[in-house]
Amino acid sequence: MGEITERFRNRIIEKRDEYLEVLKEMLSFPSVSATGEGMDEAPERVARALERAGLRVEIFREFNGYPAVWGELREERHGTLLIYNHYDVQPPDPIEKWTSDPFKPSIRDGRIYARGACDNKGNLAARLCAIDLLMDSVGEVPLNIKFLVEGEEEIGSPNLEKFFKNHRDSLSADACLWEMGGSSPEGRPLIYLGAKGILYLEIHATEKRPDLHSSWGAIVRNPALELVHVISTLRNREGLVTVDGFYDDVEKPDSETLALLDELGSAESEIRAVAGEDGLISRKPLKELFTDLTMMPCINVCGLNSGYTGPGSKTVLPNTAYAKIDVRLVPRMRPEKILELIIKHVERVSGGRVSVRPLEKGYPAARTSPSEPFVELVKMTAEAAHGVKPLVYPSSPGSGPMYLVTDFLGTPCVAAGIGDHRSNIHAPDESISLEDYLKGILHIALTIINFVPYLRSGVAPYL
């Protein structure tokens, strides 16, 4: 271990309680963009956290949505790093499934539990603590830092493209550190070089009548059954999407991507940790399933609603039914084209009785080349911080508006952070390991202090 790495690690141990307080403060207020809960206060809370880290802060309220918080540390250095995070979180429902209050962080067995612990407030807290660590240990932050913390990621970032267009010059940077990351079940850090795109929509079946006694089901149309029939035609039992033209723009992985996939192997432990022994939809070899997870598009049912769903029985023939659907996209797939294909498919199989309603316009996928110098730097610093070689994924299975960085700005972008297979992202009892949080602070600090020498000269002298 190098002198700087050892000094940073020891200082993190000394400041552990202080850095945990930063994390607790970030997790102690609601910021649910889907419902609006806490969203009036949240931008100000985030702005104060950035100011305490020494950044010049501005809250942008220029569009009809939740504000973006901007933080900047201009050191007049020969390198600039853009850091993207979001302060909004998913709804905590179902509340009854939480062991503790989702907005009162609770520490149990070496983990902290709260909504946003992993996605994404914990990552933001770790990055702000990394700034503090550098100022505390070496007296400076040896590059220009730009933080963009948006408030609409969990609802599809509908206004982020406008922000990028309005502030393109301000967003310019040599590289971007994205919001997500984590560790494998064996403790190896996970680094992502891309993210899938997304399209979110609802499928509705409705009859122009009130709910009826269920005995009428013998001769009267049931929207729930109509909806289930349509949904069953979207995918086959092996998970293959059966919408005509869905795969037309999907490209085969290039040689660099195939090399990364070969290095990753089958990711069996991660797949088994999530899916269990009996939860996979296909009998394909695990390596093929892993490629499908990271490199292929899919359609998923997120929720269904119709009729009576309370306790006990109620014999009813509902007059409406709807499903919430997300579509994960890979490079070259355009959300507007996929939406049209799904609309045509639903009209055809339902005879026009079932409709599709997009909830937002969606966004395309993003990818950064493994040969970018910033990729190698993030790998090296991850290994120094965690003491084990990282796993580098060509893309995250999840989505994020990373395309605005890679495609609109033309800036290489890498995702790395905290979290693991137990983090329960978007689910009750979301959590992170406190040890991973502290290692995440070290990883970011090492990335920042080595950023300029590595991108300019290919050396990382502070490891």
Sign of CA dihedral 29, 34, 36, 41: positive
The yes-or-no verdict on residue 254 having pLDDT over 70 is yes
Using an 8 Å Cβ cutoff, are 194 and 363 in contact?
no
| Dist. CA 122–CA 444, nearest whole Å | 13
**376 vs 74 pLDDT, higher one:** 376
CA angle 256, 439, 125 (to 5 degrees): 100
| Dist. CA 421–CA 114, nearest whole Å | 16
| Nearest alpha carbon to residue 367 among 156, 173, 192, 200 | 192
Q: What is the pLDDT of residues 184-218, one digit of tens each?
A: 888 999 999 999 999 999 999 999 999 999 999 99
Confidence of residue 1 (pLDDT cuts 50, 70, 90): low
| Nearest alpha carbon to residue 72 among 87, 53, 45, 88 | 53
Q: At what angle do helices 286-295 and 268-275 cross, to 10 degrees?
A: 80
pLDDT (average), residues 3-16: 96
Q: What is the pLDDT of residues 26-47, one digit of tens each?
A: 999 999 999 999 999 999 999 9
List 68's β-bridge partners, or say none. 60
| Dist. CA 193–CA 215, nearest whole Å | 55
| Nearest alpha carbon to residue 122 among 79, 182, 167, 61 | 182
Write the CA distances from 164 to 73, 167, 412, integer angstroms.
Answer: 19, 5, 16
| Dist. CA 124–CA 47, nearest whole Å | 12
| Nearest alpha carbon to residue 369 among 250, 453, 446, 260 | 260
Contacts for 244 with CB less than 8 Å, ≥ 6 apart: 341, 344, 345
Three-class SS state of 396: strand
| Dist. CA 303–CA 204, nearest whole Å | 12
Confidence of residue 267 (pLDDT cuts 50, 70, 90): confident
List 204's β-bridge partners, or say none. 322, 355
- Phi, psi dihedrals of residue 7, rounded to the nearest 5°: -65, -45
- DSSP code of residue 262: H
- What per-residue confidence (pLDDT) applies to 288? 85
- What per-residue confidence (pLDDT) applies to 164? 97
Share of the chain above pLDDT 70, in %: 99
Domains of the chain, first to last: 3-193+368-457 (3.40.630.10), 197-358 (3.30.70.360)
Conformational region of residue 109, where left means phi above 0, alpha means psi within -120 to 50, and beta covers everything else? left
| Dist. CA 310–CA 313, nearest whole Å | 8
- What per-residue confidence (pLDDT) applies to 262? 85
DSSP codes, 276-322: -SS--S--S-HHHHHHHHHHS-EEEEEEEEES--SSS---EE-SEEE
List 325's β-bridge partners, or say none. 201, 301
| Dist. CA 397–CA 349, nearest whole Å | 29
Contacts for 312 with CB less than 8 Å, ≥ 6 apart: none
| Nearest alpha carbon to residue 445 among 140, 184, 161 | 140
The yes-or-no verdict on residue 284 having pLDDT over 90 is no
What does pLDDT average to over the chain?
94
The yes-or-no verdict on residue 378 having pLDDT over 70 is yes
| Dist. CA 56–CA 131, nearest whole Å | 13
| Dist. CA 444–CA 385, nearest whole Å | 9
Confidence of residue 298 (pLDDT cuts 50, 70, 90): very high
Q: What is the pLDDT of residues 56-110, one digit of tens each?
A: 999 999 988 999 999 999 877 789 999 999 999 999 999 999 999 999 999 999 9
- What per-residue confidence (pLDDT) applies to 263? 83
| Dist. CA 430–CA 427, nearest whole Å | 6
The yes-or-no verdict on residue 250 having pLDDT over 70 is yes
Using an 8 Å Cβ cutoff, are 335 and 365 in contact?
no
Three-class SS state of 23: helix
Instruction: Extract the tokens encoding 134.
Output: 């550098």
Confidence of residue 120 (pLDDT cuts 50, 70, 90): very high
| Dist. CA 341–CA 276, nearest whole Å | 33
List 81's β-bridge partners, or say none. 145, 175
The yes-or-no verdict on residue 269 having pLDDT over 80 is no
| Dist. CA 350–CA 359, nearest whole Å | 21
Using an 8 Å Cβ cutoff, are 239 and 292 in contact?
yes
- DSSP code of residue 215: G
pTM for the whole thing?
Answer: 0.90
- What per-residue confidence (pLDDT) applies to 78? 86
| Nearest alpha carbon to residue 296 among 312, 276, 282, 316 | 282
